[in-house]
Structure 1
């Protein structure tokens, strides 16, 4: 396996999925595994991981009654700060970036579920990210009925409080995006146990190391 330190750039990995799919757990497990293997990495989340992002996250979690476009612009502002302050500098330092949500969440939630046109979302995402794309996206796919059961006693933000129909639209959106780019995306059965999922993730990451 080629060492990451010998590569010309870092590695950018994203985890996506509906609420309660286990994204945060898999991000943590991958980061811990990378650290155990002596590979420099950073674990980030959207919205968050910068002062701007965390403030926006806290404000949105407050359940403020805002329209779908205001929601889109706020999330994009958080993303722009993350790209400039954390993502790009970490990749320059040849670190592995493990990110919980990225532009695809916006497409799934604000696009497929909220009904904002894809061309509008793509334009705003492009500005916020400055065209920065990940090397790999893992979709933790699970039936919203299962994820709802997991999260029923821990509702913490405006999206988790949406009804099951909303989350079905989100899931269908993710599957549509993933199937449209099978080289970039890997769909994982998030109803499996977390250790089995992590092993699949780790094998894919090892393959990525050999490619960069």
Structure 2
């Protein structure tokens, strides 16, 4: 595939949406065709899954939750992400496989290796070239969510220990694969974060400004 695949990870409240939008705008201004998407919810089917896993009023068994995310991911990659990459476009995505391994593996205390294998099967092993982690202390993430005065979804309503396990998992992933991960302090200003991300992404583009290849 000739496109470039970038994912953004982090706790809720870390600023993923803001950075996705800033990066997409910068790349479009530079002449790239950009697909900005998210998981779950990047397709019509994915939005239905998102409503279930985030807003279902009853309990969802951890394994069922992991399977729902994997089902969304399989459809999303097959119908939206791979076609865009094959066209040579840039895909920027809010959450991907690493989210499931962190949230359902570490957070829900399932076997992380099994959760990863499930998503790898669902996506036929597709990984991004770059994953940006906006690292944030869970207590500060909670303060940001509270300040937004929004209704908590099922994930956001979890106890603090849930978020601490997720953060630790993310940092472990990044340490194991530094060539794929860019870890940034999410307490930096939005503009500082955007500049750091642009610098890393620019290195993935060829000298004439075209996409240098997908992961």
Q: Any runs of at least 4 consecutive aligned residues in structure 1 with deviations exceeding 4 A, and if so which?
A: none
How far apart are residue 91 of structure 1 and its match? 0.2
- Runs (5+) with no aligned partner, structure 1: 1-7
Secondary structure of 1:209's counterpart equals: coil
Question: 1:169 matched to which residue of 2?
Answer: 165
Q: Could you tell me which residue of structure 2 aligns to residue 190 of structure 1?
A: 186
Q: Which whole-Å CA distance do the structure 2 matches of 1:161 and 1:129 have between them?
A: 29
Which runs of no fewer than 5 residues in structure 2 stay unpaired?
Answer: 207-211
Aligned length: 205
| 2:11–2:135 Cα contact (<8 Å) kept | yes
- Farther off after superposition, 112-121 or 68-77: 112-121
Match of 2:177 among 177, 181, 201: 181
Of the three residues 14, 30, 43, the one matched with 1:21 is 14
TM-score, structure 1 length as denominator?
Answer: 0.93
Which residues of 2 match residues 122-133 of structure 1 at below 5 A?
A: 122-133=116-127
Q: Of 75, 79, 90, which residue of structure 2 is paired with 1:85?
A: 79
Take 2:76 and 2:34, find their aligned partners in 1: how far apart are those partners? 15
Contact 2:35–2:84 (CA under 8 A) maintained in structure 1: yes
Distance 2:151 2:3 in 1: 35
SS of structure 1 residue aligned to 2:40 = coil
SS in 1 for 2:109: coil
Matching residue of 1:32: 25
Q: Is the 8 A contact 2:102 2:112 kept in 1?
A: no
RMSD: 1.1
1:52 pairs with 45, 49, 53, which one? 45
TM-superposed CA distance for 1:122, in Å, is 2.1
Following TM superposition, by how much is the alpha carbon of 1:155 offset from its aligned partner in structure 2, in angstroms? 3.7
- 1:115 Cα shift? 1.0
TM-score scaled by length of structure 2: 0.92
